Amino acid sequence: MNKKSIIFKSSISGLLMICLLLFLPFGHSETYESLPKLNGHCPPGFKRNANNECMSQNLYMQYDSPNNMGLGGLRTGLPGIRDGFSPQDIDLGRSLFFVPVVSGVGSISCGGCHEPTIGFSEGMAPRMGRI
């Protein structure tokens, strides 16, 4: 056999071996937990538009606040409206709020200190360096 035919045959067999490795299953039998489906509904005060974005729909939008002086007794301006998140984005953020892995130390979640039952505050004096 000459050198060219040996190189040709070895390259063909190499290509076949690569194709077999790419397309044959490797026999992994790992089981995965099914993930919960994200919520498809906007939170109260928001309505979903045709682009699957939650848009704010509340009564405060009907009132004018001259010079951003605010409404009500405190006379403070309302925070800017953050529209455009999908219901799934909102639900994912709500879920991640209670997952400890996303913190710097990996052992405490945002919801561990900022409790929803007390207005997302810690209920104690401010401290530095918690997370």
Check residue 14 and give its pLDDT: 67
- Is the same domain home to 101 and 79? no
Count up the domains in the chain and report the number. Answer: 2
Q: Which amino acid is at 5?
A: S
Domain that holds residue 79: 40-87
The phi, psi pair for 56, rounded to 5°, reads: -65, 135
Structure confidence at residue 119 (pLDDT): 80
How much is the pTM?
0.50
Judge if 56 and 76 occupy the same domain. yes
- pLDDT tens, position by position, 40-76: 888 888 888 999 999 888 776 666 666 666 656 666 6
Residues 82 and 45 occupy one common structural domain: yes
pLDDT given for residue 17 in this prediction: 65
Residue 60 within any structural domain of the chain: yes
Q: What is the pLDDT of residue 72?
A: 60
Does 32 map to a domain?
A: no
Q: What is the 3-class SS of the chain, one letter each residue?
A: CCHHHHHHHHHHHHHHHHHHHHHCCCCCCCCCCCCCCCCCCCCCCEEECCCCCEEECCHHHHCCCHHHCCECCCCECCCCCCCCECHHHHHHHHHHCCCHHHCCCCCCCHHHHCEHHHCCECCCCCCCCCC
Query: Of 69, 87, 105, which residue constitutes the final position of a domain?
Result: 87
User: Are residues 48 and 83 located together in one domain of the fold?
Assistant: yes
In a domain, 68, yes or no: yes
Extract the tokens encoding 110: 């945002």
**44 shares a domain with 83:** yes
Considering the domain architecture, whether residues 107 and 130 belong to the same structural domain is answered as yes
Is residue 78 located within the same domain as residue 107? no
pLDDT (tens digit per residue) in 86-117? 899 988 888 888 888 887 888 888 888 888 88
Domain match, 44 and 83 both: yes
Bigger pLDDT: 122 vs 27: 122
